[in-house]
Chains A and B, each alone.
Chain A
Amino acid sequence: MTFIGNKSDLRVVGTRPVRPDGVDKVTGRAVYGADATMPGQIIGKVLRSPHPHARIISIDTSKAEKLPGVKGVITSADIPNIPSEEAFVGEGPMNFRDLSLNCMARDKVLYEGHVVAAVAAINDAVADAALKLIDVKYEVLPHVIDVEEAMAPGAPILHDTLFTAGVTPKPTTPSNVAKQVRFTIGDVEAGFKQADVIVEQTYTTAPVHQAYIEPHACVAAIAADGQVLITASSQGHFMIRAYTAKLLGIDIANIRVTNAEIGGGFGGKTVVYLEPLAVALSKKSGRPVKMTMTREDVFRGTGPTSGGTIWVKVGATKDGKITAAQTVIKLQAGAFPGSPINPALMCAFAMYDLANVDTLGYDVVSNRPKVAAYRAPGAPISSFAAESAIDDLARKLGMDPIELRLKNAAKQGSKTVYGVTHGVIGYEEVLNAAKAHPHWTAPLGKNQGRGLATGFWFNIGGESTGGVFINEDGTASVVTGSPDIGGSRASMAMMAAEVLGIPYEKVRAVIPDTASIGFTHVTGGSRVTYATGMAVTQAAQAVVEDLKKRAAMIWDISPEAVEWKDGEAVPAGANAGGFDPLPLAAIALKAAKTGGPIGSEISVNAQGAGPGFGAHICDVEVDPETGHTTILRYTAVQDVGRAIHPAYVEGQIQGGAVQGIGWALNEEYIYNKKGHMDNAGFLDYRIPVASDLPMIEAVLVEVPNTRHPFGVRGVGEVPIVPPMAAVRNAIRGALDLELFHLPMSPPRVRAAVDAAKAPKAAE
């Protein structure tokens, strides 16, 4: 692998062409999950538990089965009762048995909305009628929603087989605390002793949903010989294949998954909910089965990210050197273990070069939907607290918040709390770019404030396959196993075009089904442009080597005497011979004579994805009467390594920032006393709309990642990390309000205004 160094040498990388799938998506032709059909398909629907916690005494499906038009009813009796098996999926470690139980409850329901049965029927109306005829007898159990309450002694226990891992001696009584983890470096006690100034505070964040606009959908069929076809919208069709195989006990070779276009995922579509049920219903009914979630299903049945309680303490000397940082984080996992507690702990202070850090975390189950990955899982939660604390520290010290951060900035050689020493990173560059940006020093008006916060994400690599094939006319096809969720077909085609030396318009990128390309891990973790891009680049480089050999054959000279330049084979120097350049198309024309079709497919397991850092500046105006916060101006600076398609990189940053603004100001799950979610729709679960926002300026800093041929770093996750603290710090700047809980909704801000006034009134 060669590093393609100078930016000035690049012709295609760094430009902003129209994406290959663009026309389909602006004309309505693109086929998303719910648009896919199979001949003879019928409709599958699920029955969800009305109780947050109950034992299933019995399920009688006989009446539903007899309803005309019903073709099949399934319960957990139709799903293999698979043993416990740890696996590493989306968010982190999880158990396939839990995944199975999350798709279909067996003995107990663990949250309102937990699936207990499913029907397949000839149409919607019959399916709905059939669901009403299923008779489930429950023994209702006491439930627990809140993380602190779930940890308290005497709390209703969700799983009597769950014993807290990570504590010695091994506990003998079951608990809702699935795991305790700790990362430590240095000695925080000693560090706090050196501090002149200490801030200490408890923060909370609400669980928030990824809120992709496309609800989950799939259509699946199983034939008499056991061959399964699935078309689904997901962040990974290989993931759908693997989990469906595992949950139903089917050989992977018997499942073929086509990825429909995906209408957003943000981590939430890295697990299965419907597909195994659709296959089981197809088996029962003998027909292809289509399943589509409603928006309410999405809120009640699929994973948000954790809410959490975060205690933070940070100490510094008078001149702003941070001497110690400590945090204790309790995260909701939902009904099954597996919150992003590890990355929450690891990311909290990863922006800083600190000698003494102690982070302790708890993974806690409660009667809520199982969490799923959401952009930089865990990091936004811990960073909200940590970056709020750093801001408060700057105020106490009377220091500029960027100066304080620069003074303690992580750089090459800094050791993180999880032990890793940072390599070449761009945090200081990002801070300096923020400092130099006119936004940082622009004047502010009455009730207006400015906040800054920063964030970190590891980025990942992993398994990817990419192929580059030269067509007979000299155009090229690029194939990868990575579903395109935000323009990745364009960046893949661009990297191939760059290496081949042909125009972008001559390269077409497509994403074939799981039987037609090598395994590829999910589109997530900001890994596609890095890892899949590496596979595509290497495949294109292999093709160039082959093209040089073919040219040598045509010229009848040695392959070493051929060079590849701007899409043409040229003789390497005068000694090689005086041949006219051979364009790619000319070589392609002679492919049959020189050895047959030209192409290469490369599979990689990419390692060493370079971490990313961001700094966001946010201006707000707060109305002290209503508590309403308006975002006036927003600038997001990020080290992106190298932007392949800058417009889509900016888009990732802008979109991530706005999701974070929603998390900061509006979004939350509201539960009533019965353990029911009260706001399972976009009317009451309010995500940001166009009129809530200004333009979001994305500033790209490029500190290339030397482990990628074009210097790429992942970009999709970092931008959701800083916004919550940036908004919070801005509100603090506007009205000098201390806010510690998300969302900072108008009633909460109003309450803080009143609280701030109260002591004065008493005087």
Chain B
Amino acid sequence: MPTVVISGSSCRDFTHGESEFEVAATTFRQLVRELEQRFPGLGEHVEEYMAVAIDGVIYQDAYHAPLKPNSEIVLIPKIGAG
């Protein structure tokens, strides 16, 4: 199962400090639903405000991103432009 990693406080507030856990998800949409179910509010927060890094590649929008069974999914803030 893919592992979700959180190092920032904005998501940790939803998980009550939990920073690494596995989720049963094969697509990004499924991941968001899972997160919402486990930690109410987190799914929506990720959908609206977060980017994800899947196996080291940053996706600001990840609907198309492939999830592998052993993927590492890191929740990070979206990155702006200068």
Contacts and interface: CB of A to CB of B under 8 A. Distances in A.
A–B direct touch in complex (beta carbons closer than 8 A): yes
Contact of B82 (A267, A422, A423, A462): A267
Contacts of A92: 77-80
A607 B56 contact: no
Contacts of A375: 82
Interface in B47-75: 48-49, 53, 55-62, 64-65, 72, 74-75
B82 A458 contact: no
B13 interface: yes
B78 to A, nearest CB: 5
A120 B6 CA distance: 52
B82 A607 contact: no
B57 A607 contact: yes
A740 interface: no
Contacts of A346: 76-77
A460 interface: yes
Contacts of A483: none
Contacts of A716: 82
Contacts of B78: 88, 92-93
B8 A524 contact: no
A417 B7 CA distance: 7
Contacts of A181: 8-10
Contact of A421 (B10, B56, B60, B75): B56
A183 B56 contact: no
A422 B80 CA distance: 19
Given A168-B13, A607-B65, A419 B81 contact: no
Contact of A342 (B13, B74, B77): B77
Interface string A163-198: 000101000000000001111110000000000000
Contacts of A419: 5-8, 53, 74-76
Interface in A420-434: 420-423
A607 B58 contact: yes
Given A166-B10, A183-B7, A90 B81 contact: yes
A88, A417, A521, A522 — most chain B CB neighbours (10 Å): A88
A353 interface: no
Residue in B49, B56, B61, B75 with the greatest tally of chain A CB atoms within 10 Å: B56
A373 B57 contact: no
A62 interface: no
Nearest to A342: B77
A340 B81 CA distance: 10
Contacts of A676: none
Contacts of B81: 90-91, 235, 267, 270, 373, 377, 460, 521-522, 524-525, 527
Given A88-B49, A166-B9, A607-B61, A340 B56 contact: no
Interface string A71-100: 000000000000000101111110000000
Contacts of A183: 7-9
B7 A90 contact: no
Given A183-B9, A423-B57, A607-B62, A418 B76 contact: yes
Contacts of A266: 82
Contacts of B58: 420, 458, 607-609
A663 interface: no
Given A460-B60, A609-B58, A373 B82 contact: yes
B57 A180 contact: no
B74 A605 contact: no
Interface string A358-393: 000000000000000111110000000000000000
**Contact count band on A:** 35 or more
A307 interface: no
A112 interface: no
Contact of A182 (B8, B48, B79): B8
A92 B49 CA distance: 9
A615 B57 CA distance: 23
A185 B74 CA distance: 13
Contacts of A461: 60
Given A90-B81, A605-B61, A420 B9 contact: no
Given A88-B49, A184-B7, A340 B60 contact: no
A343 B76 CA distance: 10
B75 to A, nearest CB: 7
A717 B81 CA distance: 9
Contacts of B13: 166, 168
Contacts of B59: 607-608
A260 to B, nearest CB: 20
B17 to A, nearest CB: 10
Contacts of B55: 421
A111 to B, nearest CB: 22
A577 B30 CA distance: 52
B5 to A, nearest CB: 5
Contacts of B5: 419
Interface in A85-138: 86, 88-93
Interface string B17-51: 00000000000000000000000000000001100
A589 to B, nearest CB: 39
A55 interface: no
A606 to B, nearest CB: 9
A524 B82 contact: yes
A421 B57 CA distance: 8
Nearest to A375: B82
Contacts of B57: 423, 607-608, 707
Contacts of B53: 419-421
A128 B64 CA distance: 54
Nearest to B5: A419
B44 to A, nearest CB: 12
A336 to B, nearest CB: 15
A462 B60 contact: yes
Contacts of A608: 57-59
A418 B62 contact: no
B65 to A, nearest CB: 7
A180 B9 contact: yes
B70 to A, nearest CB: 13
Contacts of A235: 81
A726 B77 CA distance: 28
A374 B76 contact: no
B42 to A, nearest CB: 14
B74 to A, nearest CB: 4
Contacts of A527: 81
Contacts of B62: 607
Nearest to B16: A168
A343 B80 contact: yes
The 8 A-B pairs at the shortest CB distance, nearest first, are namely: A525-B81, A524-B81, A267-B82, A419-B74, A419-B7, A420-B53, A182-B9, A423-B56
16 contacts: A86-B48, A90-B82, A92-B77, A266-B82, A270-B82, A340-B80, A417-B7, A418-B77, A419-B53, A460-B79, A521-B81, A524-B82, A525-B80, A525-B81, A608-B59, A609-B58
Interface of B: 5-10, 13, 48-49, 53, 55-62, 64-65, 72, 74-82
Interface of A: 86, 88-93, 166, 168, 180-185, 235, 266-267, 270, 340, 342-343, 346, 373-377, 417-423, 458, 460-462, 521-522, 524-527, 605, 607-609, 707, 716-717
Given A92-B78, A375-B82, A716-B82, 7 more contacts: A182-B9, A267-B82, A343-B77, A417-B7, A419-B6, A419-B75, A423-B56
